[in-house]
Amino acid sequence: MTQVAGIDEIRSHFPALERLHNGCPVAYFDGPGGTQMPRAVAAAMTDYLLHHNANSHWDFPSSRETDAALGAARAALADYLGGSADEIVFGANMTTLTFHLGRALGRGWRAGDVVVVTELDHHANSDTWRALARERDLEIRAIRMRREDGRLDEADAAAKLTPGVRLLALGAASNALGTINDVAQLTARAHAIGARVFIDGVHYASHQMPDVRAWDCDFFACSAYKFYGPHVGVLWGRRELLATLDPPKLSPASDAPPELLETGTLNHEGIVGAAAAIDFLGALGGERLPRRERLARVSQALHERGDALLRQLWNGLEQTAGVKVYGPPPGTPRTATLSFSVAGHTSAAVAAFLAARGVFVSHGDFYATTAVRLLGHEHDGLVRAGCAAYTTAEEIGRLLEGVRELLRA
């Protein structure tokens, strides 16, 4: 296993892990909806607000310090995603950035142009384009999800990606089932027919380090609060493409990327926190390597740990009568996020039962509404457990025992 900081050291950075609920230490399995925050990230945000807070582009010290902080944050996120600092756009969240990008792209499209999404998507990466389709009279095609394993149907992808497609909007990983899609292959197929590619990397970026250059995609969006940062959205786009966009903007605002796509005054403290989250992850690698190399080491090590935890959770649930697990099995491309159902109990009831025992899981459809509906749980939802950097095997055991206790009740 790739060596990085031990689990005890990692956990020591998270004050939230000291919380008790009904006398039980809290085990946070809600990471796919938002991870807990390390002290260093909160400290960086506090330091900015107390000592450097100003608007940007003015000629006095705190404004220049803000400009420098934003520049450093662009560089940090560029190192994590594999792009350049002048290709990093910040915004409120991935959904808002996607709506904004869609409007900018859509101004150059014509009625009848095609956008391809998938049934596996979070609806931030499908409904945003459906909304644009209503405004611009576009055609939306959705690549089928295979219900048996939560993967995309490759033959259907080939059938849907035909000349006339303007954009493939693809999730790198499913926030509901953990499925990791073959981004490079699908991107190459889309580019072969002249389409651009937008990647929803929100779930993927919290489990593995993206590489936008290797994937050869055109746009990539993620959210810092899924990888130990604050609620800030990040969009990467090829600089030459960003420069051609015509987004809704105020006339005095910059016409140059990346600020071209940044509407109004940004959440400066949140952006500082996003950079601090990247630095926190990099510091877990220990060695004095360039930041992207350290981040790659940490990402690989955390993925290996997560894979072991996922196997423990999958096997334990699969061997429990009355429980059904969904998505790709261990040993296939996936994240350490798993959804399941418990016979005779709604997802909300399961989540409440576990919460009373200090085990916090998500329930419902997680905005992956189409995928959950296709799996037959439109009304009762699924239970979702996601492993993060601070998750332990003991916590997995507590979750499993809680489910078994519910079934015995």
Q: Which domain holds residue 156?
A: 42-281
Q: Which CATH number characterizes residue 305's domain?
A: 3.90.1150.10
Q: Residue 250 class from Cβ within 10 Å (0-12 exposed, 13-18 middle, 19+ buried)?
A: exposed
Res 287: pLDDT: 73
Stretch 344-359: mean pLDDT, rounded?
98
Say whether both 81 and 153 belong to one domain. yes
Secondary structure letter of residue 262 according to DSSP? -
Per-residue pLDDT band for 1 (boundaries 50, 70, 90) equals low
Query: Has residue 385 been placed in a domain?
Result: yes
Stretch 53-57: mean pLDDT, rounded?
97
Q: What is the pTM of this model?
A: 0.97
Helix (H, G, I), strand (E, B) or coil at 170: strand
Strands 145-146 and 151-152: antiparallel
Say whether both 80 and 224 belong to one domain. yes
In angstroms, the CA 314 to CA 219 distance is 33
Stretch 167-189: mean pLDDT, rounded?
98
Query: Has residue 286 been placed in a domain?
Result: no
**Which of 250, 281, 312 finishes a domain?**
281
In angstroms, the CA 259 to CA 88 distance is 9
**Which of 281, 311, 333 finishes a domain?**
281
Q: What is the number of structural domains in the chain?
A: 2
Strands 139-143 and 114-118: parallel
Token code pair at residue 156: 């259907």
Q: Which CATH number characterizes residue 207's domain?
A: 3.40.640.10
Query: Has residue 102 been placed in a domain?
Result: yes
Say whether both 270 and 394 belong to one domain. no
In angstroms, the CA 358 to CA 356 distance is 6
Residues 6, 12, 16: CA angle, nearest 5 degrees? 130
Query: Has residue 98 been placed in a domain?
Result: yes
Say whether both 229 and 88 belong to one domain. yes
Query: Has residue 357 been placed in a domain?
Result: yes
Say whether both 180 and 321 belong to one domain. no
Say whether both 137 and 161 belong to one domain. yes
Query: Has residue 1 been placed in a domain?
Result: no
pLDDT at 2 over 90: no
Say whether both 51 and 157 belong to one domain. yes
Say whether both 308 and 377 belong to one domain. yes
DSSP states of 122-191: -GGGTHHHHHHHHHHT-EEEEEPEETTTTEE-HHHHHHH--TTEEEEEEESB-TTT-BBP-HHHHHHHHH
Query: Has residue 288 been placed in a domain?
Result: no
Tell me the per-residue pLDDT of 286-340, one tens digit each, with 9 for 90 and over: 778 899 999 999 999 999 999 999 999 999 999 999 999 999 999 999 999 999 9
What amino acid is encoded at 196 in this protein? R
| Maximum C-alpha span of the chain | 68
Say whether both 264 and 345 belong to one domain. no
Q: List beta partners, residue 385.
A: 338
Res 286: pLDDT: 79
Stretch 385-390: mean pLDDT, rounded?
98
**Which of 218, 248, 281 finishes a domain?**
281
Query: Has residue 60 been placed in a domain?
Result: yes
Say whether both 87 and 232 belong to one domain. yes
Helix (H, G, I), strand (E, B) or coil at 196: strand
In angstroms, the CA 17 to CA 273 distance is 20
Per residue, what are the HEC states of 285-329?
CCCCCCHHHHHHHHHHHHHHHHHHHHHHHHHHHHCCCCEEEECCC
Say whether both 130 and 156 belong to one domain. yes
Provide the mean pLDDT of the chain.
97
Res 151: pLDDT: 98
Say whether both 310 and 262 belong to one domain. no
pLDDT at 227 over 60: yes
Helix (H, G, I), strand (E, B) or coil at 211: coil
Which of 371, 337, 339 is closest to 118 using CA atoms?
A: 371
> In the chain, pLDDT over 90 holds for what percent of residues?
98
CB atoms within 10 A of CB 335: 28
